[in-house]
Chain A
Amino acid sequence: MTAEARLGQVANYVDERTGAAAWMKKNLQKVFPDHWSFLLGEVALYSFIILLLSGTFLTFWFDPSQREVIYEGSYAPLEGIKMSAAYASTLHISFEVRGGLLMRQIHHWAALIFMAAIVAHLMRVFFTGAFRKPREGNWIIGVGLLTLGIVEGFLGYSLPDDLLSGTGIRIAEAIIQAIPVVGSYLAYFAFGGAFPGEAFIPRIYTVHVLLLPGAFLALITAHLMLVWYQKHTQYPGPGRTEKNVVGYPLMPVYMAKAGGFFFIVFGVIAFLSAVASINPIWLYGPYTPGQISAGSQPDWYMGWLDGLVRMAPPLESHYFGYTVSWNILIPGLIVPGILFTGMALYPFIESWITGDKREHHLLDRPRNAPNRTALGAMSITFMIVALINGGNDLIATHFDLSINQIMWGTRFGIFILPPIAFVVTKRLCLSLQRADRELVLHGRETGRLLRLPHGEFVEVHEPISPEKAYLLTSHEQAPALELPEVDGRGVKRAGAIRNKIRSRMSVAHSEAIPKVSADDLKEIEH
């Protein structure tokens, strides 16, 4: 019997019992559009798989306990030092377990790349408008995954109980305490008593290896099932409509591409882990509340939060015997709360402004949604300014600057630079639209100069291809919402202020350079 026939027998066996053939045939042929930016989410997914596998390896030796032990391992500079069992077991993984240090570094580098890929994927989805109906729910799941990722990462680098992670836990405790009225109770509840106590590391271990990975698996599954069910968005172009998906079938093209890409992601992470040190906990030393190191920073995805806390002026109020630490409360809880809520609600805000309730499967080119693109640039600028202040001490020493200057620069910068980024980006988008219009109307500038018989010089313009012209003119330019103050019978409508805000935002949102119409082209021909 040939191998093919044998395989057919097996397939038949399975199909007779599950009826999977029809389902498989349909789904294995599912078409996905091809673009590099659609692979960013895949990087996050593959990093997550690597995190699960390397994390499982680490649990075999990690002892999540704050029980005090005296170090007797092979790292001489810490010999005889009192430390927690958590720290000692992390040293054991690093120096005595075969491949342990490599696995630790793979786990940590994968975490950093996981978060970076999530953020890059988020930016792609935002700037192309992929969050629009029907994908608002999936956007919210994505925001949830990002938030969970930040928490999971923080808990992860807190577990080894080294000097740096203890410092991070101390700040987390301060942020919990800053919650008005109940803060100190919550902190005692979380730590099982006063800081640092003996309960925190065992507790966050359970959350880190059980609760949050479970939540991740559930949310990632929902995220992917929705992509499957709602189908993937695609960039505009000839032949691509709101009702089709142009691309390659899952089997065999994407099976091969995605499978190969997993190994490339794993390869890059393993390479980084093999050549570059990450979180060298043996250098930090064990955590004791009395010690601190200069230049204590969190991992990058928390850096903006640290930067905001660093730039907050020392404001504190006392009401009815309660202290309210505005300097922690505002940057540590209120601002992140507003940012993440605003991000989660953005699809609904935008559809409220545009009044657009239709489904969208074709992506926007960022320049064709200037207001949205500008808002994204503004948010990124805000985050970068905050992130810079998070590393202010290292920037000060490495670029010969004063830490105070950087702090004051970012204190003003956080208010001034994002609006500037908004205006500049919006103008850039409109300029690009203008350039697109020029390109369609007059073609590509060839750089060839021609002298006409009567002496005039002209540059030769080459008409662009019909495909390109289609791409540059196929997008929709919706007019601003019309919200008359009175209804059809001359009665004043309710919610006048709300309508006014909405119509103003709608005007700003619909600002655009008119795209080339058929009439424009006719006019050119004559």
Chain B
Amino acid sequence: MKRLSRYRRHKAAGPALLIFALLAIGTTFSVASATTTAQTTTADRSALIEEGRQIFLKGCSSCHGLNSEGGAIAPSLVGVGAASVDFQVGTGRMPMADMSTQAMRKEPLYTPEETAALAAYVASLAPGPEIPTEEQLNYERDGSTAEGGELFRNNCAMCHNFAGQGGALTQGKYAPTLMGVEPKHIYEAMVTGPQSMPVFSDKTITPEEKMSIIKWIKAAEAEPNLGGASLGRVGPVTEGLLAWTLGLGVLIGVAVWLAMKAR
């Protein structure tokens, strides 16, 4: 304590104290506000919906319409459900950066709280797929990796590639990579079918099977590259490139060296 008090008249003491105080208040507030959102009541819910509506009017309505009825450039959001909003906004795809062929994944614009409010508002318009709960998403417990792999190759690999690295679709569209995607978002994508992706309803792929798929994707993500550098896990194209450059390139270099005249 004595050591610390020596610095109490130091030039930086004031600003340091201020930063410490701000951090303490901020942390306390975020902890406190997190606990309040966790205990939502009906009254809180309508407040949340209203908050979501306000965000929607500011950020989304110019394309999706004042009443989410859709427009010339954006679809109606009536009945898309909270899961759809959580996926599109939570992965940063919405709001779109520009009107290109496909919304791409980027840093989300809205905080998780704002996203939850938006989701609550859109879900209040008409019933739709719900955001899965933590309990529902226990893929480690409910899923089977091998079965997930089989399901993945049957339903997903034709667009997302055999290792979930993504692939090309027509006209500049693409199936994105599945590496580093949150389990929640993978699940939501399957039930809502964003952009070019088809909907995999609970009848075509049951919730347990969805857990298996997620488990397999997570296993593929965590799997070390057993044969050395992965070369992107995209098949023979990069292998051919390496064979010509590093393989034959080095050998030609050696051949030049071997055929050099002794100096």
Contacts and interface: CB of A to CB of B under 8 A. Distances in A.
B239 A36 contact: no
Contacts of A295: 161, 165, 167-168, 234-235, 237
Q: For the complex, would chain A's binding face be called helix, strand, loop or mixed by DSSP majority?
A: helix
A394 B247 contact: no
A277 to B, nearest CB: 3
Contacts of A108: 239
A299 B239 contact: yes
Interface stretch (B88-96, B108-116, B121-129, B170-178): B170-178
Interface centre among A38, A76, A260, A272, by most chain B C-beta atoms within 10 angstroms, is A272
Nearest to B242: A276
B33 interface: no
A292 interface: yes
Interface in B205-263: 216, 219-220, 223, 225-231, 233-237, 239-244, 246-248, 250-252, 254-256, 258-259, 261
A297 B235 contact: yes
Interface stretch (B12-20, B62-70, B132-140, B152-160): B152-160
B48 interface: no
Given A36-B256, A294-B158, A397-B168, A300 B239 contact: yes
B22 interface: no
Contacts of B234: 295, 394
A392 B168 CA distance: 9
Given A268-B251, A277-B226, A278-B227, A401 B219 contact: no
B199 interface: no
A374 interface: no
Nearest to B163: A283
Interface stretch (B37-45, B53-61, B74-82, B142-150): B142-150
A109 B229 CA distance: 14
A116 B244 contact: yes
Nearest to B237: A391
Interface stretch (A54-62, A78-86, A461-469): A78-86
Contacts of A34: 259, 261
Contacts of B175: 294
Interface string A386-417: 00001111101100111111000000000000
B171 A393 contact: no
A264 B236 contact: no
Given A77-B145, A77-B216, A297-B237, A404 B170 contact: yes
B162 A283 contact: yes
A297 B236 contact: yes
A378 interface: no
Contacts of B248: 43, 113, 116-117, 120
Contacts of A117: 248, 251
Given A40-B252, A116-B243, A163 B168 contact: no
B220 A285 contact: no
Interface in A99-118: 101, 105, 108-109, 112-113, 116-117
Contacts of B146: 76-81
A296 B227 contact: no
Interface string A273-288: 1111111101111001
Max count, chain B CB within 10 A of own CB: residue among A38, A112, A164, A280: A280
A280 B236 contact: no
B153 A285 contact: yes
A274 B228 contact: yes
A495 interface: no
A158 to B, nearest CB: 13
A396 B174 contact: yes
B227 A291 contact: no
B236 A268 contact: no
Interface SS of chain B: helix
Nearest to B175: A294
A338 B75 CA distance: 52
A292 B154 CA distance: 8
Given A78-B149, A300-B236, A404-B170, A272 B258 contact: no
A216 interface: no
A172 to B, nearest CB: 15
B179 interface: no
Nearest to A38: B259
Contacts of A404: 170-172
B34 interface: no
Contact of A275 (B154, B159, B216, B228): B228
Nearest to B158: A292
Contacts of B168: 294-295, 392-394, 396-397, 403
B227 to A, nearest CB: 3
A261 B247 contact: no
Interface string A366-397: 00000000000000000000000011111011
Interface size class of B (residues with CB under 8 A): 35 or more
B169 interface: yes
A280 B233 contact: yes
A39 interface: yes
B157 to A, nearest CB: 4
A452 B192 CA distance: 85
A35 B172 contact: no
Nearest to B219: A77
A245 interface: no
A452 to B, nearest CB: 40
Contacts of A299: 236, 239-240
Contacts of B183: none
A240 interface: no
A113 B259 contact: no
B166 interface: yes
B247 A294 contact: no
A455 interface: no
Interface string A38-52: 111011000000000
Contacts of A400: 172
Contacts of A160: none
B251 A264 contact: yes
A337 B175 CA distance: 36
Given A35-B259, A39-B258, A81 B172 contact: no
Nearest to B250: A268
Given A277-B231, A283-B233, A396-B168, A290 B154 contact: yes
Interface in A281-326: 282-285, 288, 290-301, 303
24 contacts: A39-B255, A43-B255, A76-B145, A77-B146, A81-B150, A101-B226, A108-B239, A163-B153, A261-B254, A264-B251, A276-B228, A276-B229, A280-B233, A283-B163, A291-B154, A293-B167, A295-B237, A299-B240, A300-B240, A300-B241, A396-B168, A396-B174, A397-B168, A403-B170
Interface of A: 34-40, 42-43, 76-81, 94-95, 101, 105, 108-109, 112-113, 116-117, 120, 157, 163-164, 257, 260-261, 264-265, 268-269, 272-280, 282-285, 288, 290-301, 303, 390-394, 396-397, 400-405
Given A43-B248, A397-B174, 14 more contacts: A36-B259, A77-B149, A77-B216, A94-B226, A94-B227, A274-B228, A283-B163, A285-B150, A285-B162, A291-B154, A294-B157, A300-B240, A396-B172, A397-B166
